[in-house]
Amino acid sequence: MADLAKGFRPYVAWANARGAWPDMIFSTRVRFARNLEGFAFTNRAAPARLTEIRRLALTAVKESGLFSRGHFFRTETLSPQEKNFLAERHHISPVLAATLLAAGVAVSSDEDLSVMVNEEDHLRLQCLSAGFAIDEAYRSALKLDEALGGGLSYSYDGKFGFLTACPTNAGTGIRISCLAHLPALARLGRMPGALESLSRLGVIARGIYGEGTYVLGDFYQVSNAACLGRSEEEFCRNMDTVIRNLIRQEIDAREQLLTGPGKLRTEDAVFRALGVLRHARSISYGEFMQNMSLARMGAAMGWAIGLDFSTFNQLTLLMQPAHIQAAAGRALTPEERDAFRADSLRKKLN
């Protein structure tokens, strides 16, 4: 475990605060789902074929020239902890972390690009960018897609577009996601309404690690639901509009918290949360995220929190369970992990 984690930098560029709304949009991700012509999809392919797909895909990734000094892993060589570490950095999905098939992953040296092999689809290639950066993430992902699609033979159909194991991903195969921090909407109980209006706009919200994951610290992964019938650029534009709309709703909610009769209670909650982060002797990741969410909102409201958004973002990554174990350099019991987390928080925040 320690060896795998050492190969990665402690801070990742895509977690730096950047863009027009660094307090609300943590990062942007664009991914394409692709499969290779002549092979059954991952769930129906024979083991030998899956190994073949992995060999073809990882060779194409290496030859794309976009992954020099990057990381290449075959999942069967990774321990559960190492897989969790990669999942916490959003390079692999929970599905890939749990797979028993011959799967793999490539991560570029800046950790902005990654390619999962033999997840639900043969290839899931993605670009992660800091802040609200749909256009930038789309262009980088497209460049990667074109580089791989030149060497490999994608399975493509004139009518249905790029063919995928699940029909929900067919067509462009694109998914555009923004990781949005929406504490004021959540605090005012407006999230269910906001989510309902999102669904009418063809947009879904999920938990922090994507499909099938819990909402932690009021972070929502907001993505397009449909990906066929319109061009990639149109899907990007639609997401851009939806995210701006969501940002407006969060701003309104923050205004209300700042000016309404509940201001003192909000302020009290924010500074109590900061107190927990600064002084706790034992803290779970869930509790860290709850308190961090409030403190982060306080910083956005201009209160004297003394921390910038990049610090909040990096902590969100570094305080995760597998990252804590990597920092400790050994396996920890949950109790030891919570104590270690509280210790490193105190060192960073005081």
Q: Which of residues 34-53 bind other proteins (CB under 8 A)?
A: 35-41, 43-44
Using CB under 8 A as the binding rule, the residues of this chain from 242 to 281 that contact other proteins are none
Nearer to other proteins by Cβ, of 254 and 341: the residue is 341
Question: Is residue 199 near other proteins by the rule CB under 8 A?
Answer: yes
- Encoded tokens for 235: 């899907």
Stretch that binds other proteins, among 7-15, 54-62, 241-249, 309-317 (CB under 8 A): 54-62
- Closer to other proteins by CB, 197 or 306: give it: 197
Q: Is position 87 an interface residue for other proteins (rule: CB under 8 A)?
A: yes
Hunting for tokens 């949360």 — which residue is that? Answer: 273
Binding positions for other proteins, 306-325, rule CB under 8 A = 320-322
CA separation for the pair 29, 143 (Å, rounded): 14
- Letters for 98-127 (x = contact with other proteins by CB under 8 A, - = none) are x---------------------x-------
Q: Counting contacts by CB under 8 A, is residue 138 touching other proteins?
A: no
Residue closer to other proteins, measured from CB, 20 or 166:
166
Q: Which residues contact 294 (CB under 8 A, 6 or more apart)?
A: 183, 269, 270, 273, 274
Q: Which is nearer to other proteins, 19 or 161 (CB)?
A: 161
Q: How far is the CB of 167 from other proteins (least distance, A)?
A: 6
Q: Which of residues 142-181 bind other proteins (CB under 8 A)?
A: 146-147, 149-163, 165-168, 170-172, 174
CB of 302 to other proteins, least distance (A): 27
**What are the residues whose beta carbons fall under 8 Å from the beta carbon of 168, sequence distance 6 or more?**
225, 227
CB closer to other proteins, 41 vs 303:
41
- Least Cα distance to 319 among 217, 177, 205, 207 occurs for 217
* Residue 302 makes contact with other proteins by CB under 8 A: no
228 binding other proteins? (CB under 8 A): yes
| Dist CA 91 CA 127 (whole Å) | 10
Q: Based on CB atoms, which residue is closest to other proteins, 36 or 133? A: 36
**One-letter-per-residue 3-state SS of 281-303:** CCCCHHHHHHHHHHHHHHHHCCC
Amino acid at site 185: L
Q: Which of 4, 38, 295 is nearest to 152 (CA)?
A: 38
As given in the structure block, the two tokens for residue 304 are 């004297």
Give residues with Cβ within 8 angstroms of 67, minimum separation 6: 61, 106, 107, 108, 109, 113
The residue (of 13 and 166) whose beta carbon lies closer to other proteins is: 166
**Considering only CA atoms, which of 317, 233, 316, 246 is closest in space to residue 30?**
233
**β partners of residue 124:** 33, 116
Number of Cβ within a 10 Å radius of residue 205: 18
Q: Identify which of residues 69 and 159 has a Cβ nearer to other proteins in the complex.
A: 159
Q: How far is the CB of 82 from other proteins (least distance, A)?
A: 11
State in angstroms the smallest separation of the CB of 273 from other proteins: 15
Of 9-17, 23-31, 209-217, 275-283, the segment contacting other proteins by CB under 8 A is 209-217
> Considering the complex, what minimum distance in angstroms separates the CB of residue 279 from other proteins?
20
Shortest gap between Cβ of 249 and other proteins (angstroms)?
15
Site size toward other proteins, by CB under 8 A: 84
Annotate 237-260 with three-state secondary structure. Answer: HHHHHHHHHHHHHHHHHHHHHHHC
Stretch that binds other proteins, among 111-119, 202-210, 275-283, 291-299 (CB under 8 A): 202-210
Please state the closest distance from residue 122 (CB atom) to other proteins, in A: 10
Is there a contact between 161 and 228 (Cβ–Cβ < 8 Å)? yes
79 binds other proteins (CB under 8 A): no
Cβ proximity of 57 and 123 under 8 Å: yes
**Could you tell me which of 176, 180, 179 has the C-alpha nearest to residue 234?**
176
